[in-house]
Amino acid sequence: MKFVVLTDTHFVVPGRLLYGLDPAARLAAAIEVINRDHPDIAFVIVTGDLAHWGQVAAYAELRKVLGRLVAPVVLLMGNHDRRQALREVFPAVDDDGNGFVQSVRRYDAATVITLDTVDEENPTHAGILCPARLDFLDRALAEAPADRPVLLFQHHPPFNTGLPHMDRIRLRNPDDLWAVFEKRRRPDQIFMGHVHRPIAGSWRGIPFHIQRATVHQVAFDLVSQEIPGSLEAPDYALVDVSPDALVIHQRPFLYDGPHYWLHDKAAQDAADISALRP
């Protein structure tokens, strides 16, 4: 099974920019490439911060752009999102029965679980998983088929990444999440948004993946206490789940530089390869 991960689309109302970027144009560019190059994906999942200020008009714009996507889409909440506004525009968005945007999807290759880590009352943008949301996860893990991996998606990382400013607004109760894993089962992979940087590794033995936003990025800065912005090129991830491997490709979908064969002697020797084409 293949699927695509996008994160932190940060939509704003039509006609305005965010940090000099047009979030709608960015997502549209990603969708054009995804539709063209990945007709075999099962779904596209967006791991939160769908709209920058959580406005209804921004979600309406997001809905319009997502309408171009051929594959089905799965949406998660991020700290910039507002559930009520999201539901107003996307009435069919996932609901775990308690109003949280959480879900379980079973595929032959994997079970996909999404969590809603957003604390709308918390002005710091840190995340939380309340008992009701953890109960949902408990049931989802208990019912997940044992013969295939569990892939968990949530906006906030439950651990420090070394970016001081982002670590202050991570998930506030990682041990509560861990307790559910210990009781039921550990997911095989965790995908997250929030950080706007490519980071991979493992948390207490569970592999994780964090990727760049479709819009503005957080700079590589392990010192500053403020959140440092950058305009590094955005990525999407193509995930390929097979019986013996889970492979995550990160692709900078706006790249428009040279393409050439590495074994091409002319390319090796050229002072300027921008004119070469395979």
CB distance 51 to 75 below 8 Å: no
* Alpha carbon distance 34, 37 (integer Å): 5
Angle separating helix axes 56-66 and 23-37, nearest 10 degrees: 20
Residue closer to Fe ion by CB (options 31, 218) is: 218
CB distance 47 to 4 below 8 Å: no
Q: Name the one range near Fe ion by CB under 5 A: 46-54, 132-140, 142-150, 260-268.
A: 46-54
With CB atoms as reference, the residue minimizing the distance to Fe ion is 49
Which letter does DSSP use for residue 178 in this model?
Answer: H
Which letter does DSSP use for residue 40 in this model?
Answer: T
Instruction: Find the shortest distance in angstroms from Cβ 216 to Fe ion.
Output: 9
Whole-Å CA distances, 264 to 196, 255, 275? 36, 21, 13
Residue closer to Fe ion by CB (options 1, 51) is: 51
Note whether 8 binds Fe ion by CB under 5 A.
yes
Residue closer to Fe ion by CB (options 187, 193) is: 193
Note whether 81 binds Fe ion by CB under 5 A.
no
Total binding residues toward Fe ion, as defined by CB under 5 A: 2
User: Helix, strand, coil proportions of the chain in percent (round to 5)?
Assistant: 25, 25, 55
Q: Name the one range near Fe ion by CB under 5 A: 4-12, 176-184, 228-236, 259-267.
A: 4-12
Instruction: Find the shortest distance in angstroms from Cβ 277 to Fe ion.
Output: 36
Whole-Å CA distances, 54 to 10, 49, 84, 212? 9, 8, 9, 20
Q: Which residues contact 220 (CB under 8 A, 6 or more apart)?
A: 197, 230
Instruction: Find the shortest distance in angstroms from Cβ 218 to Fe ion.
Output: 8
Residue closer to Fe ion by CB (options 8, 119) is: 8
Residue closer to Fe ion by CB (options 8, 116) is: 8
Q: Name the one range near Fe ion by CB under 5 A: 2-10, 118-126, 166-174, 237-245.
A: 2-10
Instruction: Find the shortest distance in angstroms from Cβ 125 to Fe ion.
Output: 9
CB distance 249 to 241 below 8 Å: no
Q: Name the one range near Fe ion by CB under 5 A: 3-11, 124-132, 147-155, 203-211.
A: 3-11
Q: Name the one range near Fe ion by CB under 5 A: 8-16, 38-46, 149-157, 263-271.
A: 8-16
Note whether 49 binds Fe ion by CB under 5 A.
yes
* Contact residues: Fe ion, CB under 5 A: 8, 49
